[in-house]
Amino acid sequence: MPIVLIHGWGVNAGIWQPLAEQLANNFEVITIDLPGFGLNVDCVPRDYSLENIADLIASAVTREIGKPALYLGWSLGGLVATQIALSAPEKVLGLINVASSPCFVQKDEWPGIRPEILNNFYKLLSVDTRKTIDNFLKIQAMGSPQLRTDIKTVRDLVMKHDMPSVDTLSASLKLLENVDLRGALEDLNLPALSLYGRLDTLVPKGAIAEISKISPNTHTHTFEHSSHAPFISELSQFAVVVEQWVTGQISKA
């Protein structure tokens, strides 16, 4: 079965190397850089909307494998994967969201990222892009029992490629700030799995509970010793959960 791995904000497809190796025995693994990141650093569309990005990713996957696939999206990548499932369900065998939320920003009675945190990132991007990315990586690992190891692993994987431009980082950050797919989740009618880290500060425990309310048919699993990147912190167990869900050992209901 083909599985497409879509990365999150500020990084690139290099982040998937350890997981891709774990899944390779049971899946046809496809990793792809979001526009403006990694190998696609110079491929930036004029319209950096979620709908356009999702269409570009889905079209690239179709050209590469020519058949439907399982889509796994992490953080911002989860929004992209969900949009693909909404707009082109015939291309999607199933949806796995990792440390992702249909609405990342804190709103009335909705837990999420405080708006001032995103505002600080906007301000820092134009001053020191690399430091901003580095600080974001630290936030993603915050709370993990192996904080330094997780940060080093992620940094080593993603820094092999050119840095995205400030314009790309700002445009993609606006997706985290503005996209709200909560009302669209009820239109999803395919197998879905949501994976979280118990120590995550970007998708907190309260958000997990709210997401489950509006997406009751999605199977949920929380990794006890992970923050925002459970596929790094608990790599082997993460791969096992994905494989068990796909093979029906964990309910898809």
Coil, strand or helix at 141: helix
Q: What is the pLDDT of residue 118?
A: 84
Active site residue 200: yes
Residue 253 confidence class, pLDDT cut points 50, 70, 90: very low
* 73 neighbors 6 (Cβ within 8 angstroms): yes
Rounded Cα distance, 59 and 16, in Å: 20
Active site residue 49: no
Q: What is the pLDDT of residues 105-155, one digit of tens each?
A: 999 889 998 888 888 888 888 778 888 888 777 777 666 677 778 778 878
188: tokens are 């999803």
Q: Active-site residue among 75, 101, 227, 233?
A: 75
Active site residue 33: no
Q: Active-site residue among 33, 144, 172, 200?
A: 200
Q: Active-site residue among 33, 144, 228, 233?
A: 228
Q: What is the pLDDT of residue 251?
A: 60
Q: What is the pLDDT of residues 9-68, one digit of tens each?
A: 989 999 999 999 999 999 999 999 999 999 999 999 999 999 999 999 999 999 999 999
Query: What mean pLDDT value characterizes the chain?
Result: 90
Q: What is the pLDDT of residue 135?
A: 78
Rounded Cα distance, 50 and 56, in Å: 10
Residue 18 DSSP label: H
- The structure's pTM equals 0.93
Rounded Cα distance, 170 and 176, in Å: 10
Closest CA to 1 of 25, 18, 19, 33: 25
Residue 110 DSSP label: B
Provide the CATH number for the domain formed by 2-246 in this structure.
3.40.50.1820
Rounded Cα distance, 189 and 224, in Å: 29
